[in-house]
Amino acid sequence: MIKLIGLAIIAFALSTEGQLPSSVLGKWKVGKPYDVGHPIGLDAEKEEMITGLVIKLSQEKVDVCGKEVPIKSIEVEHLTSDEFLAKYNFTPNRIGLKGADILDISLNKFHTTKACGEFVDPGSHLFLSKSHAVVEVGNDYFPLTRWAGGPD
């Protein structure tokens, strides 16, 4: 019986691997970048281009800048606040992330299409905490809000 339960747990873990958390699916609007206290990656013109973008995430693709980018890989890492600080050299509360569990989500890590220009596709590196979402583009961090407006 214990072996069957163990096998069921392993099967469930394998079946969810490579899936985006359901809380990240849908349409998001990009806000103005946070000041995290270290040099910014994008210049003001590129930041302005990213601010206001609508990013639509599904299990199969990211829609951004009028292009559909197929998702070829998904990595989801659970971080504590201390692990986030060690990895990114600033505290997660600087970008609105709170709570004991922060999801660090990387899509298409080695398959960027540069859908919006010369930098990595917006929507390919996300952070989620209990009630907040952030997208990282070119070492800048932008808040995400659910977007209900506009055509699908």
Per-residue pLDDT of the chain (152 residues; tens, 9 = 90+): 444 333 333 333 333 457 899 999 999 999 999 988 776 678 888 899 999 999 999 999 999 999 999 999 999 999 999 999 999 999 999 999 988 899 999 999 877 788 887 777 889 999 999 889 999 998 899 999 998 765 55
In a domain, residue 151? The reply is no
The two tokens of residue 112 are: 């960027």
What range does the domain containing 122 cover?
A: 21-146
Number of domains in the chain: 1
In a domain, residue 126? The reply is yes
- pTM (2 d.p.): 0.82
